[in-house]
Amino acid sequence: MTHFEPPIHWQDHEDIAMALYEKFGDDFTEAKIYRIRFTDLLEWVLSLPNFEGTREQANEGHLEQIQAKWVYEWRDNQ
């Protein structure tokens, strides 16, 4: 039986942050996460396997929320 991952959309900030943390682990510290360019963050989110949002649906608010949740995720795992 395969594990089903539900699709992730732009408003699923926490799920996106968890997926990014799983992908990059401790490569990014809190300070580094906050210095990630939104253009890079956008590409990384779009490349997540079960992400179903589009580039056109992205906005700065979503990216800021994802960044903040990623920091919380990183802190939780330290």
Q: How many structural domains does the chain have?
A: 1
Task: State which residues form the domain around 26.
Answer: 13-77
Confidence tier at 2 by pLDDT (50, 70, 90): low
Domain of 24, CATH number, reads: 1.10.10
Confidence tier at 6 by pLDDT (50, 70, 90): confident
Q: How many CB atoms lie within 10 A of CB 28?
A: 18
* DSSP states along 9-55: -TT-HHHHHHHHHHHHGGGS-HHHHHT--HHHHHHHHHTSTTB---G
Which pTM does this prediction carry?
A: 0.91
Count of residues in the chain: 78
Question: Which pLDDT belongs to residue 3?
Answer: 60
In a domain? residue 6: no
How confident is the model over 18-69, as pLDDT tens digits? 999 999 999 999 999 999 999 999 999 999 999 999 999 999 999 999 999 9
How confident is the model over 45-55, as pLDDT tens digits? 999 999 999 99
